[in-house]
Amino acid sequence: MALLEILTYPDPRLRETAKPVAAVDDAIRTIVENMAETMYAAPGVGLAATQVGIPLRIFVIDTAAEGEPSQLRVFINPEVIESRGKHVWREGCLSFPDVSEDVKRAEWVRARALDKEGNGFELEAEGLLAVAIQHETDHLNGVLMIDQVSPFARRRIGRKLAARPRVSA
């Protein structure tokens, strides 16, 4: 397994719309394993393939609390097929280091996807899992956290990120 580079805003690749995965094979499973390792190392609760420069419809999520066993969930070709209610959740994003903002999301979702073996599944989620599914699905559609906040918050985020020291490769 390998750690992948997490793209940070304003990298234009974060705006790419991901393409569907044609077949779940060993190459896709390797991507999933590398994404999970990268997410845990960051650390984060979710990571979309577009955040690591891979324009495929894949994301991984683990919402287990500190000290609980891992609950890694793999979503390949995910769709949110139903949502209900509204609530505001304080979100962070690995592509926006040290930024968190209040984002309005559905409080409940039903999602459909393939797992890492290519088996289809549906699940209902609320709370952090519902937020993470919506957040990562947005990434696959080229929609970022900064698009979900007020113009004032957008400017504040831009200033914070502009003041961040740049790391040269």
Which tens digits make up the pLDDT trace of 83-121? Answer: 999 999 999 999 999 899 999 999 999 999 999 999 999
Architecture of the structural domain at 12-163: Alpha-Beta Complex (3.90)
Domain ranges, ordered by start, for the chain: 12-163
Ranked by mean pLDDT, the top range of 63-67, 125-129, 153-157 is 125-129
pLDDT digits (tens, 9 = 90+) for 51-67: 999 999 999 999 998 88
Catalytic positions: 136
| Local confidence band at 134 (pLDDT 50, 70, 90 cut-offs) | very high
Q: What whole-number distance in Å separates Cα of residue 140 and Cα of residue 44?
A: 17
How much is the CA Rg of the chain, to the nearest whole Å? 15
Q: What whole-number distance in Å separates Cα of residue 19 and Cα of residue 58?
A: 9
In this prediction the pTM is 0.93
